[in-house]
Structure 1
Amino acid sequence: MDPDYVDGNPKCCDLDSCYEAYKIEDGPYAGTHYIDGGSITITMVNATHFNFETDGICVYAVIVKGRDANVYNYYDYDGPITSDTILGPPLNPSSGKYPDISHIDFCYACCPPTPTPPPTTPTPVPEFPFYMPAMMALFALVMGAVVVSLGKYR
């Protein structure tokens, strides 16, 4: 996603009062950061850009400030996401280079847990009735008696 370039010092609560904010300032940025029963894992792509993944946290926006420049990139997502790639600060207007990251703000909410599907109950297999062998033996005996008795009248 392409970020919006923002001047000033925006905060998550400026964007939406419902967002919680998690700020990582002055690094290290890489690694897993635990918040509110969830986590954000950041992998640095290079000195100025990173990827992130979350677990139990839904991110709605990310603000990345460049060091030594009062400029920010604001990544505003259409809905909650759990990962994104190649995020970083905007080019420094005076140097034309990407500055090091000053801080990262994650604007988030706790994700509702994924519902666990109910356990499936196996279809019961009908049991062979315990009396069936006795019934079959009786039937065979009766049929045998019929065959024998029919054989007498020939």
Structure 2
Amino acid sequence: MSLFPIIEPQSTEAVPKLGLYKEIKWDFINDVPVFANGAPVIVTGKEAVSVWAWKTLHTPRYRYEIYTWDYGCEMESLIGQPYTDELKQSEATRYIKECLLTNPYIVGVNNVTVIFTEDVLTISCSIETIYGEVEINV
């Protein structure tokens, strides 16, 4: 019990240090992993975080049991909704930020641009990682 109960003491727990982020290199054009000599090519740092971001934006959230409920994007919930274009863009921006900020290596999402043209959704944004800034176009 404290004399001032509304003031909480500072936590003495150390923030866990994140290791070097690793991911399999991805061919974004053909949507397949990259192999060399029969083994997957491993990338690290901001390129690896970029691969993770691209893959999670392409994965519908809550659909596949193999992924946690934190992985994926809820963009599909906008399909068929009678929302205005402004509301769709606002919700899409929120979904993108929620999707990407679940990764502890991503500290910010900026300059989100969402374009709906007929049946195609185009997303571009700038992701601040612990390794530097990355541009994403999906």
After TM superposition, the score normalised by the length of structure 2 is: 0.25
- Rg: which structure is higher? 1
Which protein has greater RCO, CA pairs closer than 8 Å, 6+ apart? 1
The answer to which structure has the higher strand fraction is 1
Higher helix share: 2
